Amino acid sequence: DADVTQTPRNRITKTGKRIMLECSQTKGHDRMYWYRQDPGLGLRLIYYSFDVKDINKGEISDGYSVSRQAQAKFSLSLESAIPNQTALYFCATSDLTGLARGELFFGEGSRLTVL
């Protein structure tokens, strides 16, 4: 099994629908991240979490919310999806020591299309 698992892998939805992307990890890491990837824009940070009680906004948090249900689970929600939220979404995990080594463990990505 993958260390970082994202569900769903692909999703097509309509404008105005609520969408949840889920992420779970078996690495035992405290830090979890949600990134968004768009062509020509690279990866941009949406939200990050140190632990269950610590949630922080990233560069592009507007229109998104997150929930850290447990150390191993970090979900991203789009309350009312809009077409410009069509993107590839990555969950990633790390600990501080590993981060300095570039050890950011990524999930396989969730491709979201909003029509």
Binding site residues, other proteins, CB under 8 A: 31, 33, 35, 40-45, 48, 50, 56, 58, 88, 90, 92, 94, 96, 99-104, 106, 108-109
Residue 6 CA to residue 89 CA, distance in Å, equals 9
Q: Tell me whether residue 92 or residue 112 sits nearer to other proteins (CB atom).
A: 92
17 or 97: CB nearest other proteins: 97
- Check: CB of residue 65 under 8 Å from CB of residue 55: no
CB of 19 to other proteins, least distance (A): 19
Looking at the Cβ atoms of 31 and 68, the one nearer to other proteins is 31
Please identify, using beta-carbon distances, which residue of 79 and 108 lies nearer to other proteins: 108
CB-CB neighbours of 114 under 10 Å: 19
- Are the beta carbons of 91 and 58 closer than 8 angstroms? no
> Strands 110-114 and 87-94: what pairing?
antiparallel
Least distance from other proteins to the Cβ atom of residue 99, Å: 6
Contact 63, 1 (CB under 8 A): no
Minimum gap (Å) between residue 16 Cβ and other proteins: 27
